[in-house]
């Protein structure tokens, strides 16, 4: 009897899962970063709102460079201060997105970990679908909470907000739940996933 | 058994592990939810702190580029008012006393062929310096008072008269013709003047006296002075030699050494002396107005020239902050005058004489007549004021000046305005005024009390003292028309002139710098480079680049006028809102003051009805010269004038004299050309253009529909 090559679907699946996670969560983090880094200076230049001192004090560039400016301040110093303010604002936006991203990732991994070794796969799959919906609701809530906080902290102070504002500032909070959903649906544990199941197996 | 035992345990294990996991997970979720709730509750207040305060929000709510990032070029105030260069120091405490030594001053008839005697044995008809026994003219007292007024200052006396020093003479003795100090040295009579010298003038015989033309005694005094007291000690000998030569030439009748009247008849002793003033000293110049000839004429190109204005301007008297004190004295006079202004008489005028009892031919009284003498005091305002105050005190305390003089019984008459005037006893009197360059302060943005206001705008003063007017746009973002007003508290007038605001013609509003929005481009790297390449300033806002560059005001600001209101100088600027562009304007209000913009306060004794000034027309000169020529022609052989004409041509008469009407006597009792001289001094004083307003301010026009975006970091 001819010997067939030993295939380890388990190993193959793990790689795909890892790639799926990296791709989804990486994109969810990379796109907001690129938006703030490359699009912001050309689409939203000069729109950074003033942040409260409690926030700026936590930021690396806050100390020393952000003395109170008023009318009549030297324009060069003002220019510098405004650059710092832009930088700070982008850091705050990035931090909010990153926090939401991290919380969502942890939440999603916790959900996944729960169904890595289910005893009764069919029942576990049913429970996983329910818990997945609740998890997505939670992840959505986390992102909504972060977006709301960001809105209250700064976005609400920006005048003439337009599509680019919402896209750059809230896009990250939309991408994270999408990434969580994709990872949950495509990279679920083998025990609860299948080729034609609710949780597709890569 | 073992399998049976194991199954339940296996079942228990298979079912128990998920149950435990599920329980743990539920507990973890519960704890997480509980923690989140607790965190949310406890962080509510903390989160509130993270919100920006409302006070700062207004500064952030603007739209459009942040124009606060723009900066006009640094403003350099390069218009500091230049202080007139007034020479100070010990040298200035000295006084130059210039004494008019023209023949009219000394009552000397310069016409040698004259029929009338000059003086008698007992008396001296020496003009202002007459003498009869112990009686002398007031002029000698006035000269003493000039010395008293000088106080402790060293008084150098200079004699100026109708003698001249031709350039050829000076050059031949190696003297610099252009050096005024040489001229002054050669005219110096005494470097340490004492009052006794004035008595000496009076005591002299008429011949070779201080006032005689080419007097050897008084012309050449250089060698008698200490060399150190002169301005050119090393030139004493050549100067003395030149003066000896001058005396000899005058005695020989060389007309080159006697002042010629000039093309327009303007040359006279005063005009010559003024050109050689030492403006570092206080100069006191006595002037017989009858010796002043033409005051204005034309130059080589036919352009009108005011000679005395030209001289003072050339000397820079008023530019150096000096002033001219103009004094007029009514003195007593007894003597002859062979010239009067531009008139040269064949027979001298006789003005004042000793009145004798006709029967006994004995002295009855001294028929001195009133004549006026001018004096110019040139120096700094403070020095002139102090000198005049001291002179006033000296004159007031001089008892010799308090009596009345003149014919007591109406013995002497003359004709004026077609009527006979019988001279009555008269007293000494004097007037003075100071003509100084009108000093108006330059009103700038730094002037105390300067205030800038504008409709619908806020005004802030920047660190460099320049006010920034931030205009506020209307609700629709448009800039309305408005008015900017700059007020300065007016300073007190000085210099005898008041500023006529209605005549201000040099008022202007200049645009010094601007930084205005010129174009808007998409916010791309290429456009950022393009704007930088064009030397413009770019402001990025969202996806647009706003390019700012220096531009024209475009008629946005129009100076409506400068007026005087309630003691304030008010500059009103109209702002046309439609012509404004977003950005910054640096504007300068400027107004200059020239002589035309000053109204000189009238001086009654110069300008008013009580003026002691008199003018002489060419017609009058012709009439007088014709009449005196007729006297010479018809009465020279008779060895004496008709009695009617023996003094001042006598009383008015209708009878013709050899078919000539007897004219009015020349107004020797008035100050000839006084008003013309004063006018030229005033004109010279107000020649310089002085800055009146130099106020710089900046205007900020926000981007439409925006507020000023100033970060509050």
Q: Over the stretch A151-182, which tens digit does the pLDDT of each residue have?
A: 998 899 888 888 999 999 999 999 999 999 99
Q: Does B334 touch chain A (CB under 8 A)?
A: no
pLDDT above 70 for B461 = yes
| DSSP state for residue A44 in the 8-state scheme | S
**Chain B residues touching residue A68 (CB < 8 angstroms):** 712-713
Residues B431-439 have a mean pLDDT of 88
What confidence category does residue B375 fall into, taking pLDDT thresholds of 50, 70 and 90? very high
B449 burial (CB, 10 Å; 0-12 / 13-18 / 19+) is exposed
| Residues making up chain A, counted from first to last | 202
**Chain A residues touching residue B464 (CB < 8 angstroms):** none
Given this model, what pLDDT does residue A56 score?
A: 81
With a CB cutoff of 8 Å and minimum separation 6, the contacts of A93 are: A32, A36, A150, A154, A168, A169, A172
Q: For residue B519, what are the domain limits?
A: 441-594+691-701
> Is A51–B25 a contact, with Cβ atoms under 8 angstroms apart?
no
Q: Are residues B455 and B554 in the same domain?
A: yes
**Chain B residues touching residue A124 (CB < 8 angstroms):** 18
Q: Are residues B268 and B376 in the same domain?
A: yes
CA dihedral (B180, B182, B184, B186) positive or negative: negative
Q: For residue A89, what are the domain limits?
A: 38-63+73-200
| Interface with chain A: mutation pick from B31, B44, B51, B526, highest number of A CBs within 10 Å | B51
**Chain A residues touching residue B50 (CB < 8 angstroms):** 52, 54-55, 149, 152-153
Given this model, what pLDDT does residue A68 score?
A: 44
> Is B542–A44 a contact, with Cβ atoms under 8 angstroms apart?
yes
**How many structural domains does chain A have?**
1
What confidence category does residue B62 fall into, taking pLDDT thresholds of 50, 70 and 90? low
Q: Report how far residue A108's alpha carbon sits from residue B68's, in angstroms, rounded to the nearest whole number.
A: 48
> Is A50–B52 a contact, with Cβ atoms under 8 angstroms apart?
yes
A92 φ, ψ (degrees, to nearest 5): -65, -45
Q: Are residues B362 and B307 in the same domain?
A: yes
Beta carbons of B696 and B466 less than 8 angstroms apart: yes
Q: Which of B50, B708, B713 has its CB closest to that of A81? A: B713
**Chain B residues touching residue A85 (CB < 8 angstroms):** 711, 713
B11 part of a folded domain? no
Q: Are residues B574 and B643 in the same domain?
A: no
Q: Report how far residue A127's alpha carbon sits from residue A125's, in angstroms, rounded to the nearest whole number.
A: 5
With a CB cutoff of 8 Å and minimum separation 6, the contacts of B89 are: none
**Chain B residues touching residue A118 (CB < 8 angstroms):** 18
Please report where in the chains the tokens 């001279």 appear, as a residue. Answer: B423
Among B63-72, B77-86, B217-226, B454-463, which stretch is predicted with the lowest mean pLDDT? B77-86
pLDDT above 70 for B423 = yes
B323 φ, ψ (degrees, to nearest 5): -140, 170
Give the distance, in angstroms, between the CA of residue B705 and the centroid of all CA atoms in the same chain. 52
Q: Which of A70, A78, A124 has its CB closest to that of B69? A: A78
Q: Quote the minimal CA–CA distance from A5 to chain B in Å.
A: 33
Give, in order, the Cα–Cα distances in Å from B190 to each of B91, B187, B226.
Answer: 17, 9, 10
Given this model, what pLDDT does residue B391 score?
A: 95
Beta carbons of B311 and B594 less than 8 angstroms apart: no
The helix or strand, by DSSP H or E, that contains position B348, with its residue range, turns out to be: strand B343-351
Q: Quote the minimal CA–CA distance from A4 to chain B in Å.
A: 33
Q: Does B49 touch chain A (CB under 8 A)?
A: yes
What confidence category does residue B89 fall into, taking pLDDT thresholds of 50, 70 and 90? very low
Residue of chain A minimizing CA distance to B526: A42
Label the pairing between strands B335-340 and B343-351. Answer: antiparallel
Nearest to B146 by CA among B193, B102, B101, B103: B193
**How many structural domains does chain B have?**
2
Q: Does B397 touch chain A (CB under 8 A)?
A: no
Q: Which of A46, A76, A114 has its CB closest to that of B25? A: A114
Q: Are residues B497 and B561 in the same domain?
A: yes
A11 part of a folded domain? no
Q: Which of B70, B462, B540 has its CB closest to that of A46? A: B540
Please report where in the chains the tokens 């006026």 appear, as a residue. Answer: B372
Q: Report how far residue B556's alpha carbon sits from residue B567's, in angstroms, rounded to the nearest whole number.
A: 29
Residue of chain A minimizing CA distance to B66: A46
Q: Report how far residue B482's alpha carbon sits from residue B393's, in angstroms, rounded to the nearest whole number.
A: 59
A1 burial (CB, 10 Å; 0-12 / 13-18 / 19+) is exposed
With a CB cutoff of 8 Å and minimum separation 6, the contacts of A35 are: A167, A168, A171, A172
Given this model, what pLDDT does residue A64 score?
A: 42
B231 part of a folded domain? no
Given this model, what pLDDT does residue A67 score?
A: 42
B448 burial (CB, 10 Å; 0-12 / 13-18 / 19+) is exposed
B649 burial (CB, 10 Å; 0-12 / 13-18 / 19+) is buried
| Interface with chain A: mutation pick from B13, B44, B50, highest number of A CBs within 10 Å | B50
Q: Report how far residue B389's alpha carbon sits from residue B379's, in angstroms, rounded to the nearest whole number.
A: 14
Q: Are residues B429 and B482 in the same domain?
A: no
Q: Report how far residue B20's alpha carbon sits from residue B36's, in angstroms, rounded to the nearest whole number.
A: 24
Residue of chain B minimizing CA distance to A160: B63
A56 part of a folded domain? yes
Q: Are residues B157 and B269 in the same domain?
A: yes
Q: Which of A82, A84, A120 has its CB closest to that of B66? A: A82
**Chain B residues touching residue A42 (CB < 8 angstroms):** 523-525, 543
B249 part of a folded domain? no
Given this model, what pLDDT does residue B85 score?
A: 46
Given this model, what pLDDT does residue B204 score?
A: 84
pLDDT above 70 for A45 = yes
Q: Does B58 touch chain A (CB under 8 A)?
A: no
Percentage of chain B lying above the pLDDT 70 cut: 85
pLDDT above 70 for B56 = no
Beta carbons of A68 and A84 less than 8 angstroms apart: no
Please report where in the chains the tokens 């020529």 appear, as a residue. Answer: B629
For B517-547, the DSSP string reads EEEEEE--HHHHHHHHHTT-EEEEEBTEEEE
Q: Is residue B365 classed as helix, strand or coil in its secondary structure?
A: strand
B431 φ, ψ (degrees, to nearest 5): -135, 155
Q: Are residues B413 and B468 in the same domain?
A: no
Give, in order, the Cα–Cα distances in Å from B657 to each of A57, B47, B629, B635, B641.
Answer: 114, 121, 12, 11, 12
Q: Does the complex come out with an ipTM higher than 0.85?
A: no
Please report where in the chains the tokens 């991203």 appear, as a residue. Answer: A101
Residues B506-524 have a mean pLDDT of 89
Given this model, what pLDDT does residue B379 score?
A: 93
Residue of chain A minimizing CA distance to B462: A72
Given this model, what pLDDT does residue B184 score?
A: 94
> Is B523–A51 a contact, with Cβ atoms under 8 angstroms apart?
no
Q: Quote the minimal CA–CA distance from B25 to chain A in Å.
A: 8
Please report where in the chains the tokens 């730094």 appear, as a residue. Answer: B446
Beta carbons of A176 and A97 less than 8 angstroms apart: yes
B56 part of a folded domain? no
A52 part of a folded domain? yes
> Is A46–B57 a contact, with Cβ atoms under 8 angstroms apart?
no
Q: Does B21 touch chain A (CB under 8 A)?
A: yes
**Chain B residues touching residue A72 (CB < 8 angstroms):** 460, 462-463, 468
Beta carbons of B667 and B414 less than 8 angstroms apart: no
A165 part of a folded domain? yes
Beta carbons of A66 and B713 less than 8 angstroms apart: yes
Given this model, what pLDDT does residue B48 score?
A: 64
**Chain A residues touching residue B56 (CB < 8 angstroms):** 50
Q: How many CB atoms lie within 10 A of CB A9?
A: 9
B77 part of a folded domain? no
B568 φ, ψ (degrees, to nearest 5): -125, 150
Beta carbons of B415 and B662 less than 8 angstroms apart: yes
B15 part of a folded domain? no
Given this model, what pLDDT does residue B17 score?
A: 55
Residue of chain B minimizing CA distance to A69: B712
Query: What tokens does A91 get?
Result: 């850091």
> Is A153–B14 a contact, with Cβ atoms under 8 angstroms apart?
no
Q: Bigger pLDDT: B82 or A137? A: A137
> Is A52–B543 a contact, with Cβ atoms under 8 angstroms apart?
no
A57 part of a folded domain? yes
Q: Report how far residue A45's alpha carbon sits from residue A86's, in angstroms, rounded to the nearest whole number.
A: 8
First to last CA, chain B: 80
Q: Does B51 touch chain A (CB under 8 A)?
A: yes
Nearest to B712 by CA among A44, A155, A51: A51
pLDDT tens readout for residues B326-335:
999 999 999 9
> Is A68–B56 a contact, with Cβ atoms under 8 angstroms apart?
no
pLDDT above 80 for A126 = yes
A24 part of a folded domain? no
A196 part of a folded domain? yes
Q: Are residues B697 and B683 in the same domain?
A: no
Q: Report how far residue B118's alpha carbon sits from residue B135's, in angstroms, rounded to the nearest whole number.
A: 18
> Is A69–B468 a contact, with Cβ atoms under 8 angstroms apart?
no
Among B92-96, B205-209, B245-249, B287-291, which stretch is predicted with the lowest mean pLDDT? B92-96
Q: Bigger pLDDT: B75 or A39? A: A39
Residues B282-295 have a mean pLDDT of 95
pLDDT above 50 for B9 = no
């Amino acid at each position: 009897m001819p010997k067939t090559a030993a295939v380890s679907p388990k190993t193959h699946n793990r790689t795909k899962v890892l790639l799926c996670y990296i791709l989804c969560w990486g994109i969810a983090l990379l796109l907001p970063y690129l938006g703030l880094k490359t699009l912001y200076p050309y689409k939203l230049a000069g729109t950074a709102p003033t942040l409260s001192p409690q926030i700026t004090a936590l930021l690396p560039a806050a100390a020393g460079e952000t003395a109170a400016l008023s009318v009549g301040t030297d324009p060069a110093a003002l220019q510098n201060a405004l650059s710092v303010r832009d930088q700070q604002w982008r850091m705050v936006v990035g931090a909010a997105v990153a926090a939401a991203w991290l919380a969502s990732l942890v939440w999603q991994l916790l959900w996944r970990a729960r169904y890595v070794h289910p005893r009764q796969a069919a029942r576990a799959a049913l429970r996983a679908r329910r818990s997945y919906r609740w998890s997505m609701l939670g992840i959505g809530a986390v992102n909504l909470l972060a977006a709301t906080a960001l809105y209250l902290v700064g976005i609400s102070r920006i005048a003439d907000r337009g599509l680019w504002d919402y896209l750059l500032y809230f896009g990250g909070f939309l991408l994270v739940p999408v990434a969580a959903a994709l990872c949950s649906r495509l990279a679920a544990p083998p025990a609860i996933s299948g080729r034609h199941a609710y949780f597709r197996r890569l | 058994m073992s399998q049976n035992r194991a199954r339940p345990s296996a079942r228990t294990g298979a079912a128990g592990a998920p149950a435990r996991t599920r329980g743990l997970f539920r507990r973890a979720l519960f704890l997480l939810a509980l923690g989140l709730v607790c965190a949310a509750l406890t962080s509510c207040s903390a989160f509130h702190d993270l919100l920006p305060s409302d006070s700062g929000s207004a500064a952030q709510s603007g739209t459009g580029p942040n124009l606060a990032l723009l900066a006009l070029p640094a403003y350099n105030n390069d218009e500091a008012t230049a202080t007139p260069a007034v020479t100070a120091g010990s040298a200035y405490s000295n006084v130059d006393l210039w004494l008019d030594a023209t023949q009219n001053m000394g009552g000397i008839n310069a016409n040698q062929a004259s029929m009338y005697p000059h003086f008698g044995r007992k008396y001296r008809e020496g003009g202002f310096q007459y003498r009869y026994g112990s009686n002398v003219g007031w002029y000698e007292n006035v000269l003493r008072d000039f010395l008293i007024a000088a106080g402790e200052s060293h008084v150098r006396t200079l004699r100026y008269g109708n003698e001249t020093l031709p350039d050829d003479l000076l050059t031949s003795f190696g003297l610099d013709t252009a050096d005024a100090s040489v001229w002054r040295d050669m005219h110096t009579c005494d470097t340490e003047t004492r009052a006794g010298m004035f008595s000496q003038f009076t005591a002299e015989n008429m011949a070779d006296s201080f006032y005689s033309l080419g007097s050897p005694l008084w012309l050449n005094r250089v060698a008698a002075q200490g060399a150190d007291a002169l301005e050119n000690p090393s030139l004493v000998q050549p100067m003395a030699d030149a003066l000896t030569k001058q005396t000899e030439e005058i005695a020989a009748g060389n007309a080159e050494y006697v002042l010629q009247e000039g093309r327009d008849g303007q040359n006279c002793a005063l005009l010559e002396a003024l050109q050689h003033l030492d403006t570092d000293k206080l100069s006191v110049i006595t002037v017989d107005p009858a010796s002043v000839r033409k005051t204005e004429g034309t130059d080589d190109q036919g352009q009108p020239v005011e000679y005395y204005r030209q001289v003072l301007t050339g000397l820079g008297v008023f530019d150096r902050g000096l002033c001219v004190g103009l004094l007029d004295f009514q003195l007593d006079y007894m003597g002859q005058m062979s010239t009067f202004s531009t008139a040269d008489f064949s027979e001298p005028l006789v003005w004042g004489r000793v009145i004798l009892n006709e029967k006994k031919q004995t002295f009855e009284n001294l028929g001195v007549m009133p004549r006026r003498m001018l004096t110019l005091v040139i120096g700094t305002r403070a020095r002139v004021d102090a000198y005049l105050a001291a002179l006033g005190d000296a004159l007031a305390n001089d008892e010799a000046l308090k009596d009345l003089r003149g014919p007591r019984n109406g013995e002497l008459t003359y004709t004026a305005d077609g009527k006979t005037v019988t001279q009555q006893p008269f007293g000494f009197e004097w007037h003075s005024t100071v003509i100084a360059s009108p000093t108006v302060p330059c009103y700038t943005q730094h002037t105390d009390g300067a205030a800038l206001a504008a409709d619908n705008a806020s005004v802030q003063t920047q660190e460099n003292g320049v006010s920034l007017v931030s205009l506020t746009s209307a609700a629709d973002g448009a800039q309305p028309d408005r008015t900017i007003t700059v007020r300065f508290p007016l300073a007190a007038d000085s210099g005898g002139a008041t500023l006529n605001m209605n005549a201000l013609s040099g008022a202007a509003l200049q645009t010094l710098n601007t930084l205005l929005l010129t174009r808007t481009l998409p916010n791309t790297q290429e456009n950022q480079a393009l704007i930088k390449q064009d030397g413009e300033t770019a402001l990025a806002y969202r996806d647009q680049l706003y390019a700012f560059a220096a531009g024209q005001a475009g008629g946005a600001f129009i100076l409506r006028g400068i007026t005087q209101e309630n003691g304030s100088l008010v500059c009103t600027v109209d702002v046309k809102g439609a012509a404004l562009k977003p950005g910054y304007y640096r504007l300068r209000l400027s107004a200059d003051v020239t002589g035309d913009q000053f109204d000189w306060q009238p001086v009654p004794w110069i300008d008013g009805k009580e003026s002691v000034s008199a003018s002489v027309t060419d017609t009058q000169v012709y009439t007088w010269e014709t009449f005196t020529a007729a006297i010479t022609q018809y009465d020279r052989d008779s060895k004496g004038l008709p009695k009617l004409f023996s003094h001042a041509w006598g009383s008015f008469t209708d009878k013709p004299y050899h078919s000539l009407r007897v004219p009015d006597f020349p107004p020797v009792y008035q100050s000839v050309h006084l008003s013309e001289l004063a006018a030229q001094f005033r004109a010279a004083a107000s020649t310089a253009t002085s800055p009146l307003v130099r106020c710089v301010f900046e205007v900020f026009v926000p981007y439409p529909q925006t507020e000023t975006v100033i970060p509050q970091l």
